[in-house]
Structure 1
Amino acid sequence: MARLSGLQKEVLALYRHCLRASRKKPQETRCHFEEFARREFEKSIGLDKKNFAAVEFLLRKGRRQLELYSAPGIKDIK
């Protein structure tokens, strides 16, 4: 099995954080958060892993979104 680069590990860690954050949401809307995270990551699945600038940009964007949607006042996402 190939070893993961540091950026790949960061991407996987962000995805895990997104799923963990969804567990803090109401049971009836939890699946909406999980589906949103999955869709956002799948949008970039074809991105060249050597395009470091794009990967780092998407990581920053993802972290900002996670911070926003992790707020206790956010109960649902569409």
Structure 2
Amino acid sequence: MSTAPVRRSGLQRDILNLYRECFRAARLKPEANRPHFHAFIRMQFRKHSDVKQRDFSTIEYLLRTGKRQLKVYSAPSIEDVTI
């Protein structure tokens, strides 16, 4: 009994890709600080989990904001994050 693969919209794929990119970037941080980054990433995504699936403008705005935040926090000079 096999299940059909989940079909996701373009925005859903973009969100999942951003989530994965955030965790990949966290791997480049000092090992002692990675749990702080992991908690921060989860908190940021959960904070906006109540956005309606059809609210495209808000979702696109949050994606752009998330990508900008990822760029900032990926910088080598940022070694830790506070929740």
Q: Could you tell me the TM-score, scaled by structure 1's length?
A: 0.96
Matched residue SS, 2:59:
helix
Larger radius of gyration: 2
Aligned residues: 78
Q: 1:62-73 maps to which residues of 2 (within 5 A)? A: 62-73=66-77
What is the alpha-carbon distance in structure 2 between the residues aligned to residue 49 and residue 40 of structure 1?
Answer: 17
Percent identity between the two aligned chains:
47
Q: What does residue 14 of structure 1 align with?
A: 18
Instruction: Tell me which stretches of 4 or more aligned residues in structure 1 moved more than 2 Å.
Output: none
State the 1:29 CA deviation: 0.3
Amino acid at match of 2:35: C
Q: 1:32 aligns with which of 33, 36, 47?
A: 36
CA RMSD of aligned residues (A): 0.9
State the 1:32 CA deviation: 0.6
Q: 1:53 aligns with which of 57, 60, 65?
A: 57
5+ residue gaps in structure 2? none
